[in-house]
């Protein structure tokens, strides 16, 4: 199976920053998810991007945030190519020492729970200095001179703080934000990799809660708070995302795909796929030819 989970050693490498050239650097980026937050800033050209069930057309100067656990992809919109800057980071590592500011990871989770905007047009963010912060982070990580990690950490904190202020201007209220329990956050986050590796086993939310040593209600609440959707919805979205990959890039029969993804039968697979994608699996495969 072509797994969607993208591993990264976030314990030892809590952040990455680099530039992608779509004509050179392994493009397109096929659907995948990971445990860290990813933000892209379009420097030249334009491209298509998807995040979960939403499609975006990203122009020069635009910025797009992918939450941890979101299934996302990128593809070119023209043969001319494009260049965009990428920052990936573990939000839980962006700590500050003040007593009056909630953790940035907590604020980010709150923004996600409130369905805050994740796509920012160039005109909207032109005065926030995001491009300069991206480029500074890339330079520091490339050179790795004394104190580079401090500078990158500071740049990421500034990026997230400015995003939070931008969300506030859009009407998101962070006044009642409460801290997540770190242990629960780590446990629920780690379950995503287990889900990806065991998708063919017909996973149930109840079983996942047991594996996390949590009650069903507590697990469901933590999952919804962290990822902005129920675990059941996420499982279905993940299955359909994997199915779409198999339909596009393999010749596997529909029955085999439904069995590999843990559907009870082929008709259930077809109904679920059409509900989320608007077309049947068979028709999607025909459109790709």
Q: What's the CA gap between 172 and 41, in Å, rounded?
A: 23
Same domain, 139 and 208: no
Looking at the fold, whether 50 and 98 belong to one and the same domain comes out as: yes
Given 141, 169, 197, the domain boundary residue is 169
Same-domain pairing of 163 and 235: no
**H/E element holding 217?**
helix 216-227
Note whether residue 7 is domain-resident.
no
| Cα torsion angle, 19, 46, 27, 254, sign | positive
Q: Let me know if residue 42 belongs to a domain.
A: yes
Same domain flag for 153 and 46: yes
- Confidence check: pLDDT of 7 > 80: no
d(CA 261, CA 54): 22
On whether both 155 and 191 belong to a single domain, the answer is no
58 shares its domain with 132: yes
pLDDT level of residue 286 (50, 70, 90 thresholds): confident
Lowest mean pLDDT among 88-97, 159-168, 207-216: 88-97
pLDDT band of residue 222 (cuts 50, 70, 90) is confident
Query: Residues 147, 100: one domain?
Result: yes
Domain enclosing residue 221, as ranges: 182-288
CATH number of 127's domain: 2.60.120.280
What's the domain count of the chain? 2
Distance from chain centroid for Cα 264: 28
Based on the fold, state whether residues 120 and 205 are members of the same structural domain.
no
User: How does pLDDT run across 93-137, given as a tens digit for each residue?
Assistant: 787 655 555 678 888 888 998 899 999 999 999 999 999 999 999
Is this prediction's pTM over 0.85?
Answer: no
Report if residue 174 sits inside a domain.
Answer: no
pLDDT band at 49 (very low <50, low <70, confident <90, very high): very high
Residue 3 domain-assigned (yes or no): no
Do both 31 and 140 map to the same domain? yes
């Amino acid at each position: 199976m072509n797994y969607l989970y993208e591993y990264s050693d976030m314990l030892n490498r809590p952040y990455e920053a680099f530039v992608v050239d779509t004509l050179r650097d392994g493009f397109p980026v096929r659907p995948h998810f990971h445990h860290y937050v990813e933000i892209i800033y379009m420097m030249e050209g334009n491209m298509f991007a998807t995040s979960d069930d939403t499609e975006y057309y990203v122009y020069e100067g635009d910025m797009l945030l992918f939450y941890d656990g979101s299934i996302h992809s990128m593809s070119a919109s023209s043969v001319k190519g494009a260049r965009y800057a990428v920052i990936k980071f573990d939000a839980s590592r962006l700590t500050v020492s003040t007593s009056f500011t909630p953790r940035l990871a907590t604020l980010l989770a709150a923004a996600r729970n409130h369905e805050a905007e994740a796509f920012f047009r160039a005109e909207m963010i032109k005065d926030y200095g995001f491009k300069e912060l991206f480029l500074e982070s890339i330079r520091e990580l490339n050179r790795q001179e004394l104190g580079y990690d401090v500078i990158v950490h500071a740049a990421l904190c500034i990026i997230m703080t400015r995003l939070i202020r931008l969300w506030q201007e859009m009407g998101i209220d962070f006044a009642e934000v409460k801290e997540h329990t770190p242990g629960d956050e780590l446990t629920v986050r780690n379950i995503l990799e287990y889900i990806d590796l065991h998708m063919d086993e017909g996973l149930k939310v109840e079983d996942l809660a047991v594996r996390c040593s949590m009650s069903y209600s507590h697990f469901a609440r933590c999952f919804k708070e962290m990822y902005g959707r129920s675990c059941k919805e996420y499982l279905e979205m993940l299955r359909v995302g994997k199915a779409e990959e198999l339909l596009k890039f393999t010749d596997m029969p529909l029955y085999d795909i439904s069995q590999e993804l843990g559907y009870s039968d082929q008709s259930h697979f077809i109904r679920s796929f059409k509900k989320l994608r608007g077309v049947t699996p068979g028709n999607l495969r025909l459109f790709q030819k």
